[in-house]
């Protein structure tokens, strides 16, 4: 049953307006970590309960676009492990236990092993990067992710010359993740990148949003953000990283190969079989928000197009 007291996103002042971000960065060296206005609904307050502040520095790839509100980002999610509805993750993930947490590293690398979460993020500077994070249903958000370049982490495991791809796996725990009790996908969720994509400085291992630790519904404690790809590539609650010689099968690719390919690059010239991807609607703008043109590689063509030189992006979707 939907809460009756929910304040819609366009009625709430976003955190980006609640404090002047650039002034705060200059004066304190941190990104925004404040709470929403006191008039926020109980739903929104619940979504940010027990989420700690993070100390961060500005990232090099931020956009000037206005970020979506905390409510937009934390209550409208795709995280099928907690349900297929956009509101299911924040409803069903509040009791999800993310400590202790470890990540198994294996495959074509010289330093495999089981690594604690604190060891993984310990040596890294957390960076604030505001990205346009897009999913596959012609909608988008501007999200102030907090994390560090994935490549910085992967280099610590010393991948060898046979490491052509990186495979990621989400936690499998149907007791905590009710969506895994249904055969919506082949669980656990798996994703993959080429080693070049994984090492690109735009690819982020995110551990927070809006200056706070990741809420459970957003993929706590760690998730991928690849801003030039569709949102389903951003695997959440990662427990395994494997370096492989061969291209790994990915969950959506295996579930619906005609609709979802390995690369999943934002390409407005290639329609999804069931809808056009040429235009998108920004979440949080109200009922009458007009769609806007979808940009090639989500607007990051100058940074990433060279990764796909000579690749047929219609065939390799």
State whether residue 106 is helix, strand or coil: strand
What is the C-alpha to C-alpha distance for residues 259 and 231, in angstroms, rounded to an integer?
14
Nearest C-alpha neighbor of 214 from the set 21, 100, 60, 70: 70
pLDDT given at position 137: 61
What is the C-alpha to C-alpha distance for residues 167 and 245, in angstroms, rounded to an integer?
10
Distant-in-sequence, close-in-space partners of 310: CB < 8 Å, separation ≥ 6: none
Give the H or E element holding residue 134.
Answer: strand 127-134
CATH class of 9-308: alpha beta
| Measured torsion, CA atoms of residues 110, 115, 102, 149, in degrees rounded to the nearest 10 | -80
**Do residues 229 and 203 make contact, with C-beta atoms less than 8 angstroms apart?**
no
**Do residues 130 and 63 make contact, with C-beta atoms less than 8 angstroms apart?**
yes
Q: Burial of 181 by CB count in 10 Å (0-12 exposed, 13-18 middle, 19+ buried)?
A: exposed
**Domain positions in the chain:** 9-308
In tens digits, the chain (317 residues) has pLDDT values of: 333 333 232 223 333 333 333 332 222 222 222 222 222 233 333 444 567 899 899 889 888 889 999 999 999 999 999 999 999 999 999 999 999 999 999 999 999 999 999 999 988 999 999 998 875 567 899 999 999 999 999 999 999 999 999 999 999 999 999 999 999 999 999 999 999 999 999 999 999 999 999 999 999 999 999 999 999 999 999 999 999 999 999 999 999 999 999 999 999 999 989 988 899 989 988 767 888 999 999 999 999 999 999 999 999 99
């Amino acid at each position: 049953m939907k809460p009756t007291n929910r304040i819609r996103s366009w009625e709430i002042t976003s955190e980006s307006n609640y404090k002047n971000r650039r002034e705060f960065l200059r004066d304190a060296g941190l990104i925004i970590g404040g709470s929403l206005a006191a008039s926020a609904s109980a739903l929104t307050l619940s979504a940010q309960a027990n989420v700690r502040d993070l100390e961060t520095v500005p990232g090099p790839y931020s956009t000037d676009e206005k970020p979506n509100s905390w409510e937009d980002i934390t209550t409208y999610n795709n995280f099928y492990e907690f349900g297929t509805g956009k509101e299911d993750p924040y409803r069903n993930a509040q009791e999800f236990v993310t400590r202790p947490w470890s990540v198994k590293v294996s495959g074509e690398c010289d330093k495999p092993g089981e690594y604690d979460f604190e060891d993984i993020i310990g040596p890294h500077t957390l960076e604030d990067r505001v990205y346009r994070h897009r999913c596959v249903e012609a909608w988008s958000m501007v999200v102030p992710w907090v994390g560090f370049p994935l490549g910085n982490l992967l280099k610590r495991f010393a991948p060898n010359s046979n490491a052509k791809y990186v495979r990621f796996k989400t936690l499998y725990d149907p007791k905590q993740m009710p969506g895994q009790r249904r055969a919506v996908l082949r669980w656990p969720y798996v994703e993959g990148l080429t080693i070049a994509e994984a090492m690109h400085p735009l690819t982020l291992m995110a551990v927070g949003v809006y200056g706070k630790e990741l809420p459970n519904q957003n993929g706590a404690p760690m998730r991928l953000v690849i801003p030039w790809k569709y949102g389903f590539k951003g695997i959440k609650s990662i427990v395994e990283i494997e370096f492989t010689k061969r291209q790994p099968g990915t969950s959506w690719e295996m579930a619906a190969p005609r609709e979802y390919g390995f690369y999943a690059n934002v390409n407005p010239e290639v329609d999804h079989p069931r809808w056009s991807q040429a235009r998108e609607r920004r979440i949080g703008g109200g009922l009458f928000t007009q769609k806007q043109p979808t940009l090639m590689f989500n607007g990051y063509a100058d940074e990433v197009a060279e990764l796909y030189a000579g690749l047929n992006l219609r065939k390799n979707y």
